[in-house]
Structure 1
Amino acid sequence: MRTQLQAVLGVALASALAATAQAEIAGVQFSADMISQGPDGRSETVKMFVGDGRMRKEMMQQDQEVVQIIDQNRGMMWVLFPARQTYLEQGGPPSEGAPAPAPTPTAETDPCAGMPGLTCRRAGEEAVGGRAAVKWEMVMTHEGQSMNGTLWIDAERAIPLKHEMSNGEKMELVMVGKETIDGRQVEKWEMTTTAPNQPPTRVLQWYDPELKLSVREEFPGGGVRELKSIRIGAQPDHLFAVPAGYTRMEAPQSGQ
């Protein structure tokens, strides 16, 4: 049961990261190669194109080219299979009277909003690693049990700088310096996670303030994910549309 409680609190922490996750399709328009390398040295490359509220990713899956297009403005996603000239479609344009898209979260946004059994209370402002942060106290109740947590959200970036949970788990994100990667000025951050009776784990992130996302990440065990060949500029509309002549496929039903 404690594991279930931790999982739900983890969702709350993930919600505080929403601003970072949305940055890919809400900030500067650019194209780049996203390269992921595992501990075994094997790597894969995804071509990424970020437009105005839209994103396109080109990748290889099971030896075939697959293209994913996300249109945040219309609430749509398409998956294209160029070799077969077919595609899948998910979502749909908002209907009349539908609520407007939620604004980008800030440090003042309740990280527990919309989560049953989970409540957050703003507990003031504190500095974490020399950065201004908003402190939130969290309480989760589930099947008669409860777990508490404290979350500090960066006032400028709206990302979690630190969290502490009642079971002893802790996380802290600290900026350790500034560097230049591929000619771009970036910030180097270190995220340290600790838990009782376990060695700490560390993840390094290089954050690009202009792009509002991480351009390099190094994970425990030797995994690396980075953006290379970054080119800033407006992206053409045709990249975010299903090409003429493609046939729509029906998505498989759940359980089939």
Structure 2
Amino acid sequence: MTTDPRPEGRVLDAGALRALAHPLRVRLYDLLSQYGPQTASGLASLTGESTGATSYHLRALARQDLIREVPGRGTARERWWERPAGAVTLVNPEMASTPTGRAVMEAVHSETLTLRQQQLMTFVTHGWDEDEQWLDKSLISTASARLTVAQMAELADRLQAVISEDRFPLPRSNRRRPPRRHDARRRLPPARRRTHIMTTFTTPLPTAPRALAPTTFDRALLALSHALARFAHARMLARATRLSMDRARGTARDNGRSLVAEAEFTLRVR
């Protein structure tokens, strides 16, 4: 799954992006992308969700052709699901032109990057338990460079070509064996392991991000919120005034009663 529009593949439309804008669906889609065909029950054990929940979300993804049933495999009670081969992009230019479309894309990007961050932090936390040769060759690096648009595109294309699946294919023997949980004692065959490669090419954001022009509905909603705030403030002042007046009346009544009681007591004594 990629957010870069350059790789050839499917550009997700509005329906597919809305279907994917859910934390569990993003995780299911990612697991199928990484480990190949899985069942709803198998994915439930990997995610900690119920089989009913994973089955429901798998069907929602299938309705948008994000995943499909594995032909000739499975039974009526347990179906196998897979992600079609090929790159996809989460950037849809048509949706980017509207606030609602941007919100949907931002939700999918947020869930995807959150998942990548969790995977990275798992390595940071448990990477010390890896074999020394694998730990020594692992790399987390950042860099900044002054590039033109053409240079940035060239560098991205070159890296994309290097890390393409055709260049470094995963043996099919490992495709259907995702780990259920991290276990330092569990060792994969030393010849080849699944490796997470995360690349980002971004330009620095401006100090103040450009805000979208407010719509008529936005202005009306803002005016209504201001009116409600003024009304609530006026009610609070009126209530405070009434409470002050009630306290003043109560104090006066109490003082009057005290004077009357003192006078009656004086008369009785005399």
Shorter-chain-normalised TM-score: which range?
A: under 0.3
Structure with greater Cα Rg: 2
| Bigger strand share | 1
The structure whose residues are more often helix, as a share, is 2
TM-score normalised to structure 2 length: 0.22
